[in-house]
Each structure stands twice: as structure tokens, then as C-alpha cells.
Structure 1
């Protein structure tokens, strides 16, 4: 067996770690100069998203021999709507650094892999098919899956973020549900340390977001021109939302004086594969559809797809069977995402009022599959919207 892994991200490196433990040394190809994305970001893994597993890091170390150190164990999640604030306390989950940072989860996994990573790779998927018996596509996006007609795009996302320097408590993260700053999406603040944090906005792009739906937007014709690059004078919608977010951040947290390493992404596809494996090609990570539509994070499922693709290659499991479970979680998350797109700012205010206190804290403490249950309840109503 001669295995190529295309992509040195969470899923590809996790796949390599498991293969090496059982005596198979894969060849890892990465088109960038180092592991990690183009910029440094913060992400959180909330335990509520993958019940019944209550501790993701313990699960990976005990069950699969994959070891990760978080930035912090999260003790509080502060959520702001337009007019309310709700504090959730307990074991929320973990925060992590992602991207080009020596303690990013990609960098930590790379240090657990023995095989050299071939950086600056120009190999295509077709090249690897000619040279290797099996190919694991872990490219971090859906491009190859889409080319093979094996990817369904449900919506596209725009994001803008930056690193902010100041004073932070790494055990506390913040989120905003406010359609004026992230329409039908959210904004967040995740500390890297006591001195630095990542803040960002993320929201679905048109056709989900129509200009008329967004209160306080620039005129629709300016939005269209800015989105299509037809004028240099009109601000891009994402820049308008970002400016509003910084003003809201100053009101809720304090003036963000030291902002650097600003980045933005547009048109990032969120979707899922139809088939986790075609012939001797495995689709893992974001190439499979590990990004959960509800909040956009997907570290847990990205790692699991790499792990279980490796077990399938070793003859120790059935990747299609495991992937079917992950696709069910994806579809449940998509139902909640669709419901979120219909919630007004007044609705977010009411939601936080309901969740404030014992109800909200119970959601984070219970081992029950809260999101799966919520999706089943919401599904009939979503079809009517």
C-alpha cells in the first residue's frame, strides 16, 4: 500500500499519525510553505456540538493517540444580542490557535508526524493517482471534491477578522448575535493569550443575504457595485459591517486600540460530500464537509474524518459508516443554521432572555444531544419558511 495525503491540515496530519502508528508511512504533500492557513486565527471547540463526547481532547488522546494542547479551557461564554447580554458558565470547551503559529493545532500535529512533509508541492490530484495506490484528499477546501461532482454547496460565507492586542482572560470568549454587524451570522472574540486575541465577523453571502434584509446597509446599488468591484469609492459590505462591529466591540469590551494582521475571506463554500470515498480516494476535513454550518467551526469532525479514513486504509474500520454519522451531524447543524437566518434582532434578544441563567448553563452541562434534538424540532418549521 502506497498512500498519498494531499494537504497538511488537521485531517491530513491526523490521518498520517494513525497510519504511522500501524506501520504505514504516507507521503504528505502541501502546496504552502508551512503548515497552517495563510493567517493566524482563534477557534473554539464547544463540547455541546458533539455530544455524547464531553471532552474532545481527552477523547482524541485516549482513543486515538492524538495529543493537542489548547490555549485555554473555557469557563465562560459571553453572548451579546442587540440589547441583551447572557453569560454561560461551566465547562464550555476549549480554545485553540489556528494557522501559522508555532502552537497552532496544525503545528502541534505536524510535530507528531514522522514522515517529512513535501512543502511547495505542485502535484495535482491526477498526478498522485498515477503514482500512489490510495489518495487522501485533505486540501482544506472543496475544490477537488467539486471537480469530481462530489460536493453540494449549501451557502457561501464572508469573514473578516484581525488580531487585537490588549488585556484578556483566555478562559472567557465572547460572541455577538446582531444582524447589524453580522447579518444572519455572528461575531466573536477568542483570546490567544492574556495579551492577544482574535476578533472576527462571519455571515452567509447572497443569495441568503439580500440587501433589503439588512437594516442600516449602504444603498443596494452601492452594495452591488462594491461586491462586483465596479467602483473604488463605495465601501464593500464586509467593510461596513466590520466598522460597525468595531464600534460595538468598543461599547461592550472597550476600545480596540491595537489592531493588526487584518484578513478577510469571501465566497468560502460550506457544504458536504455526497460520498466520503470514491474508489481509492478518500475525502476528509473540509474537502469532505467537516465545517459545521451552524457556527462554522469543525476541528472535531475534521480530525475524526482523517482518523477514520486511516482506520479504513488499515482494514480496521469502515470510513463510509463513520462518515454517515458525521453527515447526519452536518444536516442537523444545517437545520439550525437555516433557522438562525430567520431570527431578527428582537428574536435574539428574546432567545438570550430565555437562556439566561440555569437553562443556558444546563445546555452546556448535560450529556444529551441538545443540538440534534433541536434540529428534529425545528425541521418541520424550516420547510415552511
Structure 2
């Protein structure tokens, strides 16, 4: 059996890892000259979004044999709205590095692979589909899939991020909600360590030409005067596709649209969809049925996104205040109740 994977990001690497575990070798094609993201940044596994799974790191270790080492546990979340601040402590998840660093999530997945990776290579998926029995598209964007099947865009964003220097608490994530600079997005700070952090602004439904002004407003309004080492920016659109396997093509991770439209998280779904594709290739199991657990979650989160898109700053004030209330904090963060699932019918009523 001949299998090709286009893209050596975490979805493609997870697919290769599972294929090898099932006795199938593959070849990977990566357009960059190395493993990992060009821009260093901190990502996260956020426990509340992944429920009923309690611990994503343990889940991937025990379920799929993938050993991942996070940067730190996330034990504190500080949320800001224009008028309110809430601090929530608990077991919220993990910080992970996304970069070319050897300890990045990407390189942790790559280091144990035996399959060949062709760097500086960006092959045409149509040509590969004629040469290989199966082709896994893990390119990190959904442009190919959008042309091949029915597609519904859920949110469009421009993102600007920076590596900043300062004194940071390594277990703490800080979030800012303000429509003046983020629209219905948000800003966040997540630490690499005690002296470096990833500062990011996710703006929704904006033009690229507006991004610098919104970034400066973000820094000014929140008093963020840290030394900036480097910056980056890119656009990211999320959506929901009708199909994720077309003929002998499998789409995984961001290439399949498996990005959370609410907060923009994607690592968990990237890893799991890559694994699902490998198992489908090896066993013949229906890939669409396997990824239903992902698409169901994305459809639910899309309804939350629709609600959030209508928020004003007064709504964010109310949200941050409520999320800081002791009984609400306990239910959302201190239990394993799938709050996103069970609150969904209420969201739909007020949609």
C-alpha cells in the first residue's frame, strides 16, 4: 500500500505515527525546510473544550501511544473585559510550544518517525492521488477542500502575534475581550517560561489594513508595554465541510476545517483526525463516521460563535463577571461536566 501525506504539521505527523504503529510506511511532503511553525508561539489544550476527556495529554498517551510533553500545566486563567476582571484557578489544561524548537509539539511527533519526509516540497494533490493508493491532505489550510465540496464559513479572522519579554507566571493564561480592538475575537498572553510569552490578538471580520491599528489599540488600552522580540501576522478562516474524504483523498486538521470557531483552538482535533485517517486507511473504517465526533462539536461551537458575534462590550462585562462567580466557576472548571454540550440548547433558544 502506498500512502502520501502532504504536510508535516501535527495532523500529518500524527497520521504518519499511527500508520507506522499499524505497520504501514508512508512518505511525507513538507513545503518548508524544517519541522514546526515558522513563528514561535504557545498553543494550548483547553480541558473544558475537550470534555468528557479529562486530560488530553494522558488521553493521547493511553489511547494512541503518542507521548507528548507540554510546557506547563495551565492552572490559572485571568479574564478581562472593559470593566471587569475574573481570576479562575484549577486544572485548565496545558501549554504547548508550536515552533521549530526541538521541544515543540511538532518535533516531539516527528522525532520517532521512520517514514521519509521530503522538505521544500509542495506537490500537487491531483498528481499524487494518481500515483498513491491514498493521499492525506494536511496542508494547514482548507483552500483545497473548499473547492471540492460544500463549505460553510463560520468565522474569518486576522491574527497578529508577538514574542514578548517580561516577568510571567508560567502556569497562567491571560485573556482580553473588547470589541474596540478584537471585534468578537480576543487577545491572549500565554508564557513560554518566566521571561518570555506569546502575546496574540485575534480579530474577527476585519481587513488586513486595519490590523496594525487594532494591535496598537490593544497594547495601549491594556497597558501592554513589554519588549517585543518579533511579530507575525496571518489570516485564518474556519468553516464546516460536507465531506472530509473524497475518492482516495483524506483531509485532516486545519485542511479539513477542524478548527474550533469559538476560540480558534485546533491541536486536539488535528491530532485525532490524523489518527482517524490512518486507521481508516489501515482498516477500511468509514472516515466520515469517525470524524463525526469532531464535526458535531464544531457545529455546536459554531452556534456559540454566532451568539458571540453579536456581543457588545456590555455583554463581555456580563460574561466575565458571571464566569468569575464561585458557583459558576465550580461547575465550569472544577467538574468534568461537558458545559459546552449541555448549555448548547439554551444558546440555541436565544440565538
Q: TM-score normalised to the size of structure 2?
A: 0.96
Instruction: State the partner residue of 1:246.
Output: 219
SS of 1:101 mapped into structure 2: coil
Question: Partners in 1 of 2:71 and 2:85 — Cα distance?
Answer: 25
Question: Partners in 1 of 2:141 and 2:38 — Cα distance?
Answer: 13
Residues 133, 375 of structure 1: alpha-carbon distance in 2 compared, 3 angstrom cutoff? same
Q: Does 1:337 align with 2:314?
A: no
Instruction: State the partner residue of 2:347.
Output: 378
Instruction: State the partner residue of 2:121.
Output: 121
Task: Flag as ranges the 4+ runs of structure 1 deviating above 4 A.
Answer: none
Instruction: State the partner residue of 1:274.
Output: 242
Matches within 5 A, 1:54-133: 54-133=54-133
Instruction: State the partner residue of 1:156.
Output: 156
Residues 321, 21 of structure 1: alpha-carbon distance in 2 compared, 3 angstrom cutoff? same
Question: Partners in 2 of 1:205 and 1:357 — Cα distance?
Answer: 31
Kindly state the Cα deviation for residue 67 of structure 1 after the two structures are TM-superposed.
1.2
8 Å CA contact 1:10, 1:109 repeated in 2: yes
Instruction: State the partner residue of 1:264.
Output: 233
Instruction: State the partner residue of 2:28.
Output: 28
8 Å CA contact 1:336, 1:374 repeated in 2: no
Instruction: State the partner residue of 1:313.
Output: 281
SS of 2:350 mapped into structure 1: helix
Instruction: State the partner residue of 1:297.
Output: 265
Question: Partners in 1 of 2:282 and 2:150 — Cα distance?
Answer: 24
Larger mean CA deviation between 107-116 and 136-145 belongs to: 107-116
Q: Number of matched residues?
A: 350
8 Å CA contact 2:47, 2:56 repeated in 1: yes
Instruction: State the partner residue of 2:140.
Output: 140
Kindly state the Cα deviation for residue 334 of structure 1 after the two structures are TM-superposed.
0.8
Structure 1 segments unaligned to the other structure (5+ residues): 207-226, 229-235
8 Å CA contact 1:89, 1:361 repeated in 2: no
Question: Partners in 1 of 2:182 and 2:237 — Cα distance?
Answer: 17
What RMSD in Å do the two structures reach over aligned CA positions? 1.5
Question: Partners in 2 of 1:150 and 1:261 — Cα distance?
Answer: 38
SS of 2:36 mapped into structure 1: coil
Kindly state the Cα deviation for residue 4 of structure 1 after the two structures are TM-superposed.
0.5
Structure 2 segments unaligned to the other structure (5+ residues): none
SS of 1:62 mapped into structure 2: helix
Larger mean CA deviation between 60-69 and 143-152 belongs to: 143-152
Matches within 5 A, 1:336-355: 336-355=304-323
Instruction: State the partner residue of 1:179.
Output: 179
Kindly state the Cα deviation for residue 312 of structure 1 after the two structures are TM-superposed.
0.9
